Amino acid sequence: MSGVWCEAAWLPGRGVADSVRAEVNESGIVTSVRAGVPAAPADLHVAGVSFPAASNAHSHAFHRVLRGRTHDMGVGSFWTWREQMYKAAGALTPDLYEELATAVFAEMVVTGWTSVAEFHYVHHQPDGTPYGSSSGGEHAMELALARAAVNARIRLTLLDTCYLAGGIGQPLAAEQTRFGDTCVESWLERLGSLRAAVAREFSPDQVTVAAALHSVRGVPEEALPVVARELPADMPLHIHLSEQPAENEACVLATGLTPTGLLQRHGLITNRLSAVHATHLTENDIAVLGAGHTTIVMCPTTEADLADGIGPAAALKDAGARIALGTDQQAVVDPWLEMRALEHGERLGSGQRGWFPPEALHKAASDAGAAAQGRRAPGLAPGRYCDLMAVDPASMRTVGSRRDQLALTATAQDVATVVIGGRLAARKGIHATLGDPARLLSAALTKLDTASEGV
């Protein structure tokens, strides 16, 4: 048993309290919490105001390659951005991906994210050939991501993604070949094998495997009932949903239904489903997703960067859905900006303020993201992981802010300390074991740039 003492901390349902001490067991789980008490001699001291750490509900680690490199296209779109994404994916090898993902996950940790749902579809070699014994084993890319997470000390939910088509009624394009499996049954078989391999090598507190369908564009309708029938009932399931109007139009043309309606037809709208983006929805879609108590993963900084649009977050919340947050393409890795952008999107769309009060923003950033991963929540309450992000309340950005309103003023630059499982993980932007993530990112990006020249 160890102890963590916080100068001040946000407690679920109670707001910010002073002099908060938590006892933490050997698994990193809080066993007791008391406010207004002194620190014990061996406690980890955390200055500033501690909040539950953020749980990243949607990430593509390799998209970090594209940050700051896709803005010279004139009038561009999601679809033109995607071509550069394919080139980056084509350059990845297991060794390069482990190095890059270690750096990206380290960046997440120092900014306050302590768990991540990695939406992973770069499964095979560039020509679609599965990795074998001579190239790192069947799950070479997946295990590279798992090792990267362990290196960075972030909790990883690896979302092994089914990707079978290049569009509705279209085969995979050449640049998508390494993403695909021959059929949904092959994907399910590989998924089961991956789960077993990860369970043999990693603690479930560190790495778990769940499932994703890329989209209704990437998974043919005939595969959906197979997924509903064969996927283990307790396994989280994620999907990109209605990110673009073109996706909706193609789905309606082919099936007579919106993407949400198509998933409902096959019994996939349940409380284990996390729908990512959900930007372009009908009123009926919103009602269906809410009635199913799904999680909606908003990625506001990515949706702004790609000009996707502003999703109906407040309407979905009011209908019964749970709102979580993710970094998606890593255009920004900052849970504080994602929280703020969620509220700002509603303000810009409605002309009103106060749709997501600070407590709701923190729940979206922490509890909802953890639930989407099938994990226990972070924070200072018995039964939670002792995963915390503490901010400086007296920086030039935060000075003068009420402590319970720091979600509307702080940024990742204000994160002074990150704690994972009751242990120090980062201080002032420096990872406790890996050092400066910028150095790691620079080295990895240089290698990827060289590899991309040959793609």
C-alpha–C-alpha distance, residues 231 and 218, integer Å: 18
Average pLDDT of span 357-365: 97
Distance CA 194, CA 124 (A): 13
pLDDT value of position 356: 97
What is the mean pLDDT of the segment spanning 49-76? 88
Alpha-carbon span 295 to 322, nearest angstrom: 5
Q: Residue 73 — very low, low, confident or very high, per pLDDT cuts 50/70/90?
A: low
Q: Is residue 196 over pLDDT 60? A: yes
Does residue 77 register a pLDDT over 90? no
What integer best gives the mean pLDDT of the chain? Answer: 95
Asked if residue 11 has pLDDT above 90, the reply is yes
| Residue 78 pLDDT level (bands cut at 50, 70, 90) | low
On the question of pLDDT at 156 being above 60, the answer is yes
Residue 76: the pLDDT is 64
In tens, the pLDDT along 275-324 reads 999 999 999 999 999 999 999 999 999 999 999 999 999 999 999 999 99
- What is the band of 454 on the pLDDT scale with cuts at 50, 70, 90? low
Model confidence at 55: pLDDT above 80: yes
**Average pLDDT, stretch 77-106?**
88
Is the pLDDT at 349 greater than 70? The verdict is yes
Q: What is the mean pLDDT of residues 35-45?
A: 97
Using CA atoms, how far residue 390 sits from 10, 402, 419, in Å, is 10, 15, 8
Q: How confident is the model at residue 18 (pLDDT cuts 50, 70, 90)?
A: very high
Could you tell me which residue, 76 or 217, shows the higher pLDDT?
217
For residue 114, which of 417, 408, 361, 392 has the smallest C-alpha distance?
417
Decide: 44 and 3 in contact? Cβ < 8 Å: yes
Burial track 434-453 (b if 16+ CB lie within 10 A, e otherwise):
beebeebbeebbebbeeebe
- C-alpha gyration radius of the chain: 21
Phi/psi at 436 (nearest 5 deg)? -80, 115
Q: What is the mean pLDDT of residues 206-218?
A: 98
Mean pLDDT of 169-180: 94
Q: What is the pLDDT of residues 222-238, one digit of tens each?
A: 999 999 999 998 999 99
pLDDT for position 453? 74
* pTM of the model as a whole: 0.96
Q: Under DSSP, is residue 21 helix (H, G, I), strand (E, B) or coil? A: strand
Give the β-pairing of 415-420 and 423-427: antiparallel
Residue 455: pLDDT band (50, 70, 90) is low
**Res 119 pLDDT > 70:** yes
The pLDDT, as a whole number, for residue 245 is 95
> What's the whole-number mean pLDDT along residues 90-114?
97
- Tell me what the mean pLDDT of segment 148-155 comes to: 98
Note the pLDDT tens digit of each residue in 421-450. Answer: 999 999 999 999 999 999 999 999 999 888
pLDDT given for residue 75 in this prediction: 54
